[in-house]
Amino acid sequence: MAKSKKQLTVFLLLMINLATVLSIRNWPITAMYGYTSIFYLLLSVVFFFIPCALVAAELATLFPKKGGVYVWVREALGHRLGFVAIWLLWIENIVFYPIILSFVSAAIAYVFFPHLAGDPIYICGMIIIVFWILTIINFRGIRFTGRFSTFCVVMGTFIPTALILTLGALWMFSDKPFMISLETTPLLPNFTSISTFTVLTGILLGFAGIEMPAVHAGDVNNPKKNFPIAILLSAGIIVTLTILGTLCIAIAVPHDKISLVAGAMEAMSIYLNQYGLGVLMPVVALLMAIGALGGVSSWIVGPCKGFLAAAEQGDFPPFMQKTNKHDMPHVLMIIQGVIVTGLAFLFPYMSDPNSSFWMITVLSAQLYIVMYILLFITGIVLKYKKRNAQRPYAVPGGIAGMWIIAGLGLIGVTFSLVIGFFPPPDVKVESLLFFESFLAIGIISMVGLPFLIYSLRRPSWKPKLKQ
């Protein structure tokens, strides 16, 4: 049994991190802004990605056991807010799963059934089938999941990324036309209009998740040493590839033709056709679908394991505390699958793909942002509450360093929370009132629901002998 609890090496955890966060699918959101995207990406790195990676690395080694965000926030801010934090981590993924899997469905259709790529019934069915297949795969245990993520990252992320970066470099050093220029998309945005910064919300969601693999800290060999190594190494890789990949899409695809849903596929098609390699497009589309599958697979189990830690504290009925022989929370994963199945049936009723994609993206990001606010506050609070606790990895600079790093993160996510209510100029929504009402109602209901659920828990739900 002891052996089964230490199944992840640094390499496998690195692969899970990359599968969780790195995705070509996210690059078109930023590519729409051309060279200005470099500014937005670097701003997101300073005010979100680096603070999140550093704070999560310290908290994961301070509490090297299962539970992740749930345990951290509970120890700092109390049981109730710990439950709210893991709920938000879980529910924002539930909201976003159908959108991610619609990308996978379209890519698979492009390879095998091109005429079905835009068929809402086909996409709905594929979302349901693919999600349940990935759920069953995750029943096999964290080591199997780690290997599956490794395969998906190598085949579906590294290979397409290497291809698009290589073709993008060839494009830059040839006489091919650039779809962006410093005149039309300068390095700095228009600081007089807040709507120009709304892209930060989409970028944040694209970078989000670097803290999520912390729920596997208890499964890592020597977690106090290896977890921060994996999380910081993956952060560097993700940031570098995201900046380069975004520019490769921006220089090849005309600004007004970048699709938030299929922009990466469009860029790849343009590159391959320009160099006489169009015949490879179905293969590349399949590889990109595999990469997206790895990301979904990593997200399926992570929040559920955090939820399991909450269930084991009596926050859910006993039947939700069960795990299978591979120590996976199969009951919680089944409940998650049922909810995603229900949401998939709503997909055929979405209107404009870009506006629908953006609205769901922003709602997911806003829910995630509330969780990140709790996370950064937790980092500061635990610096005081656990002042003398051993920290094999700590944010540089002691208490002052934590205030600076977590403070930068709080500034970044709070700003993103506010500007998320302003749609970007290039995304058309039905009306500003509808857009803002959709977000407000979604945030209030999804943040309020865990407080209601927490109030309904019963003393009998808490296991008699745990820990």
Q: What is the pTM of this model?
A: 0.80
Check: CB of residue 249 under 8 Å from CB of residue 264.
Answer: yes
Query: Per-residue pLDDT tens for 68-93?
Result: 888 899 999 999 999 999 889 888 88
User: CB count, 10 Å around CB of 368?
Assistant: 26
Is the pLDDT reported for residue 210 higher than 80?
Answer: no
Residue 348 or residue 312, greater confidence: 312
* CA triple 401-407-408, angle to 5 deg: 100
Residue 419 or residue 77, greater confidence: 77
- Dihedral sign, CA of 426, 429, 433, 435? negative
Residues above pLDDT 90, as percent of the chain: 14
Q: What pLDDT was estimated at residue 4?
A: 43
What whole-number distance in Å separates Cα of residue 316 and Cα of residue 318?
7
Q: What pLDDT was estimated at residue 2?
A: 42
Is the pLDDT reported for residue 1 higher than 50?
Answer: no
- At 320, the pLDDT band (50, 70, 90 cuts) reads confident
HSE, side-chain direction, 13 A CA sphere, residue 194: 9
By mean pLDDT, which of 154-163, 343-352, 428-437 is the weakest? 343-352
Query: Per-residue pLDDT tens for 151-201?
Result: 888 888 888 888 888 888 888 888 777 776 655 666 777 766 676 777 777
Query: Per-residue pLDDT tens for 286-313?
Result: 888 888 888 788 778 777 877 888 888 8
C-alpha distances (whole Å) from 430 to each of 28, 421, 422, 434, 438 are 22, 14, 13, 7, 11
- At 3, the pLDDT band (50, 70, 90 cuts) reads very low
